[in-house]
Amino acid sequence: MAERSLDVLIVGAGAAGLAAAERLSAAGLSIAIFEARARVGGRIFTRRVRGWPLPIELGAEFVHGRSDEIFDIARQAGLLIDRLPNSHLESGASGFRSQHDLWERFDAVTRQMRTKGRDRSVAEFLRTRRRMSPSEKRLAVAMIESYHAAVLERASEHAMSTREEPRLSSGERTQFRLVSGYDGVVDWLRSRLDPKRCRIRFSTAVERIRWRKGSVEVGIANGGTLRARHAIVTVPVGALQAGSDGKPGIEFDPDPADQRRALDRIEMGHAVRIVLLFRRPFWEETSAVERLRAREPENSEITFLHRRDAALPTWWTAAPAQVPMMTGWAGGPAAKALFHLPKKRLLDRAFETLESLFGVRAARLRKFLIAGYVHDWSADPWARGAYSYEAVGGASAPEVLARPIAGTLLFAGEATDRNQSGTVPGAIASGRRAARQILG
């Protein structure tokens, strides 16, 4: 790669990098985007199977609440969004039971968490709540480990607290899905780039960034360099932290001290997901579901299923779409038991869980299987995890990480957005924030 100077170098062509490039390109700046993968999207990873009616999401899938970032893009790009039925079912010895007001109950727990004084782990917080019922503690553990993909002994009480926040409206609690596929969001962002001013270099991993005020030099794996006035680093925090060899994924010269301390207080949550395609929705024919509907006729749609002692504790269907597809999910500590398992072993764990959920022998359920799909984000060298959460002492780390350094080096990505961490809307908002910081 020949050496030449541009306005902005962006590391990563995920949602944050593309959102930043879209705004900077529209302002007339010259940009180069370095992407280690051979595709755009980052942790948005949508696959399509010929003859199957829905896209298969192996990364981001849901939209949590009526996000302006996603809904505005969907409207302009013509993407279809579905509202998910608010049905959460807990599986136990007596069958399925509805978990009513799941989000309100969890919010009632997080409103008891402190935002002032000495920060402590969520585990320590729960140990001190002697008057909190065992069922509410179990709910808190399940939500923090599965939904936030966090470790209780590491997660920050201050960061998890909602004590000083307004209560969520029903619209903010609603879950949505991009039926058209989440890749439609990044495809739209990419389509907005001016090809004369912005070029994406795929399969190009950045190894080092040397910078001083007003000047950045990016070094890539093949030895080439490129210079610019600014750089925006949008890769996941897992790719910036030290790996198994003790070295960070990208070397900074000089290393930004405040941002490095912030990175040390942000964790990458781990998760394992498996998507199974079936010949027909076998669960509709099981006695467990028939008994549920006889007792609770309002549960016409089977959406989210939970069994806390299972290898994959959370499952969901394609509802409201009538497509025989189920996704199994394990987050936090439950994911560690499944790390790096070969696909066959993971399928075994999945069918063992489905057997416990529906009371049907795994061997019989396997006969309905068409295909299974997995992607190990923890083993992915360009992610090293699923999404971020703040560790003890790290409640302010996203804000620190989002501060521009000498007007030259900037960080973006979901981990830099305190209010929407772990989400695609947070990544998009952070990329646009970084663009504004450069444009002044």
- Is the pLDDT score of 3 beyond 60? no
- Is the pLDDT score of 243 beyond 80? no
pLDDT band at 35 (very low <50, low <70, confident <90, very high): very high
What pLDDT was estimated at residue 244?
66
Share of the chain above pLDDT 90, in %: 86
Name residues whose C-beta falls within 8 Å of residue 146's C-beta, 6 or more positions apart in sequence.
313, 314, 329, 330, 331, 332, 334
Instruction: Give me the domains of the chain, ranges plus CATH numbers.
Output: 5-44+181-268+387-439 (3.50.50.60), 46-65+174-178+269-374 (3.90.660.10), 102-168 (no CATH)
Residues 60, 276 contacting (CB under 8 angstroms):
no
What pLDDT was estimated at residue 340?
83
Q: What mean pLDDT do residues 405-415 have?
A: 98
Going by their DSSP bridges, the two strands 46-47 and 56-57 should be labelled as antiparallel
- Is the pLDDT score of 1 beyond 50? no
198-230: pLDDT as tens digits: 999 999 999 999 999 999 999 998 788 899 999
Lowest mean pLDDT of 91-95, 228-232, 276-280, 425-429, name the range. Answer: 91-95
359: left (phi over 0), alpha (psi -120 to 50) or beta: left
What pLDDT was estimated at residue 4?
58
Quickly count helices (H) and strands (E) in the chain.
16, 22
375-396: pLDDT as tens digits: 999 989 999 999 999 999 999 9
pLDDT band at 24 (very low <50, low <70, confident <90, very high): very high
Tokens of 136: 């509410």
What pLDDT was estimated at residue 2?
41
Residue 143 corresponds to which amino acid? M
pLDDT: is 399 or 221 the higher one?
399
347-368: pLDDT as tens digits: 999 999 999 999 999 999 999 9
User: How far is CA 249 from each of CA 11, 69, 209, 383, 404, rounded to the nearest angstrom?
Assistant: 12, 29, 11, 10, 20
This prediction's pTM: 0.95
Residues 159, 394 contacting (CB under 8 angstroms):
yes
Give 361-406 as a DSSP string.
-HHHHHTTEEEEEE--TTT-TTTSSSEEEEBTT-TTHHHHHTS-BT
Tokens of 70: 């996603």
Residues 217, 5 contacting (CB under 8 angstroms):
no
pLDDT band at 92 (very low <50, low <70, confident <90, very high): confident
Q: What mean pLDDT do residues 42-69 have?
A: 96
